[in-house]
Amino acid sequence: MPTDPGQPKPAPAETPGAATAAELAHVGEASGAQWLQRYSSSLMGVFGTPQRVLVRGAGCLVWDADGKEYLDLLGGIAVNALGHAHPFVTSVISSQLATLGHVSNFFTSPTQIALAEKLLQLAGAPAGSKVFFANSGTEANEAAFKLARRNSGPGRTRIIALEGAFHGRTMGALALTAKEAYRTPFEPLPGGVVHIPFGDVEALRAAVDDTVAAVFLEPIQGEAGVRPLPEGYLRAAREATTAAGALLILDEVQTGIGRTGKWLASADAGIVPDAVTLAKGLGGGFPIGALITYGEQTSHLLTAGQHGTTFGGNPVATAAALATLHAIESQGVMENARRVGEQLRTALAAVDHVTEVRGEGLLIGFDLDADMAPAAVNAALDAGFIINAPGPRTIRLAPPLILTSAQADQFVQALPNILATAIGAIE
């Protein structure tokens, strides 16, 4: 006989001995240096040596194992849209986990359906558009890659991506990623992908013909140092792909979900893509990815049994994303990203040794006049700021979208000293 869901059984007795993850991991019992030693003997070396061991966060601040405080201007690489430990997101995730955590895709849940509907609405997607949920950006792009293959056929075998592109590290997404150092050790990769020069409309028009199944584009290349596509490029790509019968697939894993001050970086381009991938900011720090397919025809390319995932779209991840979208929408977060982003870009452009500032909203890249970006990252850490160097002379900022004016100013004020230290370190 079904039980009344309104009358939950009493919770089982608490597991004795440890009440929190901090206790399970014995957080207080080792210094940062000791943790890093244990890291290097237990974790695979693919990330090199982590910069710090972080134990706690609140808003735009995080603290390391030695108690040092940092202003987080990277936000877990454009992930922590609402900062750390956002009270509303935390409470929605906790209550969902205490209600229903995982069900597999033999079943669905109201949070999953509500999130899909919300994403279609935010994307302005036409009737017949659909969503597939994954757990990460690379997985969202794997799904998009399969979509592209389903648009392939005799004579239509090529997929176009751009030089400088980053679409992820699993084999399909890696085939779309341009960087040789990431690709070469893993060849052969899925075939047919051609990388054309970045931002060159003529090269695009020349490449896109009826042998092309899909074109993958990032509206702003984040990993390449925050490089925006030139004005008019997305429109040209839409025209060329429509004429050729190819799909236009936008990777908004980094640029989406308010990062640029709007839901999608491509929102103002005046085009309707065939698909968009999302991840990073979507779960506010909880892992989730999504593929949106636009319109009936594209949405039907992947049919029952042609793709799947165990975890994707689970109740907790989709609850985290619903909470994140709700908070962004109701708390003026995108307006803040536009305003503070503008303030930062203007102020950064006036700092000595800064040669160029790029980006939109709170996705910002700036170039320095020498190969000192990694040294600047280290100097910034010592000064209590987390920033990132996607290239030898390029700094990227992707802070929580709730960064305040005063916090932005704090970094700008500290930057001259950080750069002076970096120059000293490379000499």
Ligand X SMILES: *Cc1c(COP(=O)(O)O)cnc(C)c1O
Residue 276: exposed, middle, or buried by beta-carbon count in 10 A (0-12, 13-18, 19+)? buried
Do 402 and 336 contact (CB within 8 A), yes or no?
A: yes
Query: Shortest approach of ligand X to residue 139 CB, angstroms?
Result: 7
State the minimum distance, in angstroms, from the CB of residue 74 to ligand X: 12
Which among 101-109, 136-144, 238-246, 389-397 is the span making contact with ligand X, rule CB under 6 A?
136-144
Residue 64 binds ligand X, judged by CB under 6 A: no
Does 198 engage in binding with ligand X (CB under 6 A)? no
Indicate whether 80 belongs to the interface with ligand X (CB under 6 A): no
- CB within 8 Å of 256: residues ≥ 6 apart: 263, 264, 265, 276, 278, 280, 281, 282
- Is the Cβ of residue 93 or residue 276 nearer to ligand X in the bound state? 276
Question: What end-to-end distance do the CA atoms of the chain give, in Å?
Answer: 76
d(CA 222, CA 272): 22
Stretch that binds ligand X, among 19-27, 137-145, 326-334, 410-418 (CB under 6 A): 137-145
SS3 category, 146: helix
Contact flag: residue 138 with ligand X (CB under 6 A): yes
The reply to whether 215 sits near ligand X by the rule CB under 6 A is no
- List residues bridging with 212 in a β-sheet: 158
Question: Which one of the spans 49-57, 251-259, 296-304, 337-345 is the region binding ligand X (CB under 6 A)?
Answer: 251-259
- Among 109, 111, 112, 254, the residue binding ligand X under the rule CB under 6 A is 254
251 belongs to the binding site for ligand X (CB under 6 A):
yes
Nearer to ligand X, 35 or 198 (CB): 198
Non-local CB neighbours of 232 within 8 Å, separated by 6+ positions: 201
Q: In angstroms, what is the minimal distance from the CB of 177 to ligand X?
A: 8
Tell me whether residue 246 or residue 279 sits nearer to ligand X (CB atom). Answer: 279
Return the number of the residue (137 or 285) whose C-beta is nearest ligand X. 137
Residue 289, sorted as left (phi over 0), alpha (psi -120 to 50) or beta, turns out to be: beta
| Cα distance between residue 369 and residue 76, in whole Å | 26
Considering only residues 59, 76, 164, 168, which one is a binding residue for ligand X as defined by CB under 6 A?
A: 168
Nearer to ligand X, 174 or 419 (CB): 174
Distance CA(291)–CA(139), nearest Å, equals: 9
Q: How far apart are CA 123 and CA 426, in angstroms?
A: 45
279 lies in the site for ligand X, by CB under 6 A: yes
Which two tokens mark 169? 């590290």
Residue 265 CB, shortest distance to ligand X, in Å, is 10
Told to check if 136 binds ligand X by CB under 6 A, we report yes
Q: Which part of the chain contacts ligand X (CB under 6 A), choosing from 68-76, 218-226, 343-351, 385-393? A: 218-226
Gap between the Cα atoms of 116 and 159, Å rounded: 27
359 lies in the site for ligand X, by CB under 6 A:
no
Beta bridge partner(s), residue 158? 212
Note whether 360 binds ligand X by CB under 6 A.
Answer: no
CB of 163 to ligand X, least distance (A): 14
Q: What phi, psi does 262 have (nearest 5°)?
A: -145, 165
Of 164, 172, 219, 222, the one binding ligand X by CB under 6 A: 222
Q: Please, which contacts does 188-192 make with residues 24 or more away whose CB atoms are closer than 8 Å? A: 190/145, 191/157, 192/152, 192/157, 192/158, 192/159
Instruction: Name the residue with the smallest CB distance to ligand X.
Output: 137
- Hey, CA dihedral for 226, 47, 313, 150, is it positive or negative? positive
Other C-beta atoms closer than 10 Å to the C-beta of 74 total: 20
253 binds ligand X (CB under 6 A): yes
Q: Is the bond preceding residue 50 a cis peptide, omega within 30 degrees?
A: no
* Among positions 83, 137, 228, 258, the unique one binding ligand X when judged by CB under 6 A: 137
CB of 140 to ligand X, least distance (A): 8
Binding-residue total with ligand X (CB under 6 A): 15
C-alpha to C-alpha distance for 214 and 206, rounded to whole angstroms: 14
Min dist. Cβ of residue 205 to ligand X (A): 24
* Pick 164 or 341: Cβ nearer ligand X: 164
Binding mask 147-166 for ligand X (x = CB under 6 A): -------------------x
**Chain positions contacting ligand X, by CB under 6 A:** 136-138, 141, 166-168, 218, 222-223, 251, 253-254, 279-280
